[in-house]
A and B are shown apart, each in its own frame.
Chain A
Amino acid sequence: MCGTCGCGGRDVLIGGKRPVRAKGGGALAFRAPGSGEGQAGHAHQAAELRVIQVERDLLAKNDAQADANRQMLAARGIFALNLVSSPGSGKTTLLVKTITALNGALPLAVIEGDQQTENDAARIRAAGAPAIQINTGRGCHLDAQMTAQAMRQLDLPDGGLLLIENVGNLVCPASFDLGEAHKVVILSVTEGEDKPLKYPDMFRAASLMVLNKCDLLPHLEFDPELAVDYARRVNPALQVIRLSVSSGEGMDQWLDWIRAGCREAGRTLSDTLESE
């Protein structure tokens, strides 16, 4: 809950720098007259009250930016994935192994989201891929505007792969479209099987679930069939890959899934070019 985690979007850093928001009038730019001193400044005026119809969606701005991101990615044939999970599910390790396994065969770039530190982007760069870190400060999720800004700062490969690692949080990132092709939810077997029922919005929003750390199954009471069953109750169309970066189980399937997505994004690009 952000009411308790205290999230907010005012301390954002992208690549260590404060982002420039597209429009003027940021969150707190419009101060009330006499703000901080109550209403004493104009208490003498007879208040003329009126009702203004607004009818505007709270996520409209995010969704419009996400659409713009998606169009830009499609125009450049880039396949973008938004990786979401609780903290500690193994997202960054999976990304590092993915980069190593692809070994330059597919051009890729990574956007890393965390509240604090550049640690994850540094791990990705050490694995050989360009990466930019978004520090959300108190924010508990990435949004489409941060993503757009990060994409501008990153050397995005045309016809390649963009991996976006969201802030570790199974709740908030579900509601914020970044413009990705798919959300991939990572559930590690050291968590509970019923996470999909406890956090249904995220599993509902994802196209693929990676059941991670499967090499640990012999040491745990985690029932993978039950976890998949719960996940499909929430999202009947959810695809599932059982994976372990330690044993290599499922890595081929994961890489094939990525390659198929990239081919599809590339095909859409060449179709567009031909029709122009």
Chain B
Amino acid sequence: MHEMSLAESVLEIIEDSARAQDFRRVRRVVLEIGELAAVEPDAMRFCFDAVMRGTLAEGAELQIVETPGAGRCGQCGATVAMQERYGLCPDCGSAALQVTVGERMRVQDLLVE
């Protein structure tokens, strides 16, 4: 999907942090990407490298932590593992699954100098 603009958001977050925390170079970026966030890690890596070129994070290692998706069944209340944003509850067969975790995309931490 929109990995290029997401990579630009990562850069904005890095630049904000650099101003607040006073660092000049980023060595590693740890990014949490939920299984249901509809982000392709490979596309994200490609865009990350392209966007970071010529910035304080040029050449930084991108570490992606993928978190599994899960939801709650609105019918029977079961907690269900989800690999897609839709599906049927394995317990009662209802389609009323609400995603509870796995949609997050966030910068967790930075290794800086």
Name which residue of chain B comes closest to A176, CB basis. B2
Which one of A1, A3, A7, A61 contacts B9 once the chains associate, using CB atoms below 8 Å? A61
Contact call B106/A35, Cβ cutoff below 8 A:
no
| Distance in angstroms between the alpha carbons of A204 and B107 in the assembled complex | 25
Contact call A172/B106, Cβ cutoff below 8 A:
no
Contact call B86/A140, Cβ cutoff below 8 A:
no
Contact call B95/A52, Cβ cutoff below 8 A:
no
B65 contacts partner chain A, Cβ-Cβ < 8 Å: no
Contact call B21/A175, Cβ cutoff below 8 A:
no
Contact call B15/A29, Cβ cutoff below 8 A:
yes
Q: Within the complex, what minimum Cβ distance (angstroms) separates A234 from chain B?
A: 4
Proximity string of chain B (17-60) to chain A, C-beta cutoff 8 Å, 1 when within and 0 when not: 11101011101000000000010101110110001001111100
Q: Collect the chain A residues with CB atoms within 8 Å of residue B91's CB.
A: none
Interface residues of B in 56-85 (CB under 8 A from A): 56-58, 84-85
Contact call B110/A2, Cβ cutoff below 8 A:
no
| Distance in angstroms between the alpha carbons of A35 and B58 in the assembled complex | 8
A16 contacts partner chain B, Cβ-Cβ < 8 Å: no
Contact call A175/B38, Cβ cutoff below 8 A:
yes
Q: Collect the chain B residues with CB atoms within 8 Å of residue A220's CB.
A: none
Which one of B8, B23, B54, B58 contacts A8 once the chains associate, using CB atoms below 8 Å? B8
Q: Collect the chain B residues with CB atoms within 8 Å of residue A49's CB.
A: 27, 111-113
B101 contacts partner chain A, Cβ-Cβ < 8 Å: no
Contact call B42/A3, Cβ cutoff below 8 A:
yes
Known: A49-B27, A57-B105. A141 touches B5 (CB 8 A): yes
A44 contacts partner chain B, Cβ-Cβ < 8 Å: no
A189 contacts partner chain B, Cβ-Cβ < 8 Å: no
A152 contacts partner chain B, Cβ-Cβ < 8 Å: no
Instruction: Give 11 A-B pairs besides A54-B17, A55-B106 with Cβ atoms closer than 8 angstroms.
Output: A8-B4, A29-B15, A31-B54, A32-B54, A51-B112, A58-B10, A59-B6, A61-B9, A62-B9, A143-B5, A233-B86
